[in-house]
Structure 1
């Protein structure tokens, strides 16, 4: 199910539990772990039937077991799953069990893996981790979602009586749901829908907000974990389970909810967040920037200006962030509203503050969509220049928070590349740039494209990032063609 590289070994301690460490020096791009998913399933709230084999939309049911959905291209699915409902214990169950309650699909697959003698051992590491259900009961809707969409329908359909050796109870089913959620990565089906892929090793690596690895997922949902930075013997292999463009308080909140984890990594203990100041606010007294006071346990306190020592209480900061967050929700994709928010809150926050970055990302996305819609007409130079500016603002932050081989930075470079090329081509066509200036911009674009491709060279060819690398390669060929045409 998983293959460890010779460059790593298993380790265990009280704090991290079972984990992986480098056994020799590892270079960026070296493969550390390759793993097939234990299972892939739709999200709990999914109501559209998905093919049991390829996970694309389905409108037919397997003729043999009359339970699992299939698509027009798949004629069969897992043999044990099919046999369970076609004969034996599952034969007496209602055949439209998934049609009525498709949300149970993921947990149903896990229960059948546990029932199958050939796959029981693959599940032991997953189910062997104890779950403290008291930490989850009544916790921000997760328990209720599991109860309504998965646990209750499974308890009521009679399936638990067909699996007597597992001694299933409502609490055991809840624990299984939590295990699936906690060990899942978001994967993408061929039709573009997002799914949950459960990876026993890949999802249990210790967390660090500045990971030293990169996770790559191909179209068959296989995972490849490779080094993002040089690793030395004994270095712990880390992954990140948060959005790197979140501020410290938001990352920690997400980790508490999803992994019951209090993070004290180097970034969480750094008030400047690796020099990005993604959580810093403008000091009202001296015009400097106030940073969050953080103790050695990672607990966040008030915000204080290092220069004049002026204080902003945590309550004041949280109130401001809640205000901006509410305004972002109310913006509803309106470009003018986002620009107004940038003008309103820009003087209060550091230019790299994560909430301003969120606003800038929204504006850049709207501008890109607008450019695509007007591609056949005359695009607006002002619109394109604004997009280049926003993409340029995001790049240094992306580079800082995910050092080494970074897909985040590569994607940022790609967005900047598209905006830059589109702008300078239009400016050259309208004689705003002379030939020498145009060539200079194309050389910059060529360097950007080359750097982005270099960051994506370790991605599987049949992955979203692999296809992105192909797209960038095509763009680079076009740039090089123009450089030859107009001279270097």
Structure 2
């Protein structure tokens, strides 16, 4: 099921294919699209059986079809799928099909949906999207993964013979796998495992690293797309399929690997990345200069200070980034390793560089756990102060890279809020601040909580962000209670 806003128009052009544009002015927060997933399934590499009904881990098999897993709480699953293997066309297929090859689950669901007249139209929207197999065939990893885990097991199972109308070949199955991958968002099951939900429209919008919409997913995996910024008539509706906290070359690599596309959005074309300098290097020749990539020329990094103009060869930059990236992997949660990395590389990279942000996020996460473990000891204050500083460093970056209504920024505000409130309360309890100072800091916390709630107000109640809204509202209530008590002087 798909429901579109009356303020959208569905159009087609050769560059973007079928896409949506605003036909009237749209305010931030207005719902643009609501869509149920075509299918939800585990990732290809999943080797643990999941219940066909609720998608939680399962160790038993449906008694009727003897093919699909069911958990102890679910007594049935999709009637067509069950009938197909119980007494329909697929009754002769081996009953251990999914036990031996659970990676085929997503593609199997699509093939059986195509057999159902009432589902075929939705599937057809997906299948109409052209796939250039030659762009994928020689890739390391993805093609081989599909071949070994999905395509070959299905071809050897006999399914192609019992679904003759679909004219299934190895290439046709590979194309189906690619369409599934490029039409999916990662969704979270009730047990916390990640799955992929396939959305024929919501996951096929044009990409921009500076999106003008927000994607929300509830507990039932229903998708809601709403405007992040004001939209004028004629504006294209964009979403983002890249990690906004990556640098430009890393985002573009991610998009090439997952979407086979090149991005030329305003952020990708700006060497300063909207003024954030998330890929900028410290100049080697001048004390205050920063070097940015020459995007339209050599690809080298050149100092922005015109009086300097020093150049850092692209090969040197890539070598450094690979070295730091490898050290991040090797750090394996060790606080001292992350702190050492930060100290070593802040002399080489811009303070907002995406690798330094990654290091800081890892440190902040470790400090959060350490502060909880040492809550009765004095060092907790130092740990919290450090975490407040690190979380604060992330806020302006999150605000800059995702404009308007931003879940990324809201979550960053929440992380900052937790540490700030904990530190403030500890400082007050130990006499480091008086009532007046405590009230002033509480007002700051109140402002942060309200800003986060304002950004999350359009999220579904039964979503992860909806539950986060409840958590922030409880924190705000506690803050305002203390303000009533200590804010009067």
TM-score, length of structure 1 as denominator length: 0.98
Residue 446 of structure 2 aligns to a residue whose secondary structure is helix
State the Cα deviation string for residues 313-355 of structure 1 (Å, max 9, x = none). 1111111111111111111110010000000000100000001
State the Cα deviation string for residues 252-286 of structure 1 (Å, max 9, x = none). 11111111111111000001100000000011111
Cα separation, 2, equivalents of 1:100 and 1:8: 45
Matches within 5 A, 1:443-454: 443-454=443-454
Cα separation, 2, equivalents of 1:97 and 1:373: 47
- Structure 2 equivalent of residue 361 of structure 1: 361
State the Cα deviation string for residues 158-193 of structure 1 (Å, max 9, x = none). 111111111111111111111111110000111111
- Whether 1:305 aligns to 2:303 is yes
Cα separation, 2, equivalents of 1:373 and 1:171: 54
- Structure 1 equivalent of residue 292 of structure 2: 291
User: Does the 8 Å CA contact 1:249/1:300 hold for their aligned counterparts?
Assistant: no
Cα separation, 1, equivalents of 2:298 and 2:106: 37
Cα separation, 2, equivalents of 1:327 and 1:444: 37
Name the stretch that deviates more: 23-32 or 163-172.
Answer: 163-172
Matches within 5 A, 1:33-432: 33-287=33-287, 288-295=289-296, 301-307=299-305, 308-375=308-375, 380-432=380-432
Cα separation, 1, equivalents of 2:135 and 2:84: 34
State the Cα deviation string for residues 348-367 of structure 1 (Å, max 9, x = none). 00000001001001111111
- Structure 1 equivalent of residue 478 of structure 2: 478
Cα separation, 2, equivalents of 1:446 and 1:306: 39
Post-superposition offset of 1:58 = 1.5
Cα root mean square deviation, aligned:
1.2
Unaligned runs of 5+ in 1: none
Cα separation, 2, equivalents of 1:377 and 1:345: 31
State the Cα deviation string for residues 17-45 of structure 1 (Å, max 9, x = none). 10000010000000000000000000011
User: Does the 8 Å CA contact 1:22/1:233 hold for their aligned counterparts?
Assistant: yes
Post-superposition offset of 1:374 = 3.8
Post-superposition offset of 1:376 = 6.7
Post-superposition offset of 1:435 = 1.1
Cα separation, 2, equivalents of 1:23 and 1:79: 41
Name the stretch that deviates more: 152-161 or 383-392.
Answer: 152-161
Cα separation, 2, equivalents of 1:418 and 1:222: 30
Cα separation, 2, equivalents of 1:300 and 1:199: 40
Unaligned runs of 5+ in 2: none
Cα separation, 1, equivalents of 2:368 and 2:462: 25
Post-superposition offset of 1:232 = 0.1
- Structure 2 equivalent of residue 5 of structure 1: 5
Decide whether aligned partners of structure 1 residues 101 and 373 sit closer, same or farther in structure 2, where only a CA change above 3 A counts: farther
Cα separation, 1, equivalents of 2:377 and 2:104: 48
State the Cα deviation string for residues 216-259 of structure 1 (Å, max 9, x = none). 00000000000000000000000000000000000011111111
Post-superposition offset of 1:130 = 1.5
Residue 309 of structure 1 aligns to a residue whose secondary structure is coil
Cα separation, 1, equivalents of 2:374 and 2:61: 43
Cα separation, 1, equivalents of 2:314 and 2:114: 47
Q: How many residues get paired?
A: 485
Cα separation, 1, equivalents of 2:318 and 2:282: 14
Post-superposition offset of 1:378 = 6.3
Residue 32 of structure 1 aligns to a residue whose secondary structure is strand
Name the stretch that deviates more: 379-388 or 220-229.
Answer: 379-388
State the Cα deviation string for residues 388-446 of structure 1 (Å, max 9, x = none). 00000000000000010000000000000000011111111111111111111111001
Residue 114 of structure 2 aligns to a residue whose secondary structure is helix
Cα separation, 1, equivalents of 2:180 and 2:50: 18
Post-superposition offset of 1:138 = 3.1
Q: Which runs of 4+ in 1 moved over 3 A?
A: 372-379
Residue 154 of structure 1 aligns to a residue whose secondary structure is helix
State the Cα deviation string for residues 80-103 of structure 1 (Å, max 9, x = none). 111101112111111121111111
Residue 226 of structure 1 aligns to a residue whose secondary structure is strand
Post-superposition offset of 1:66 = 1.3
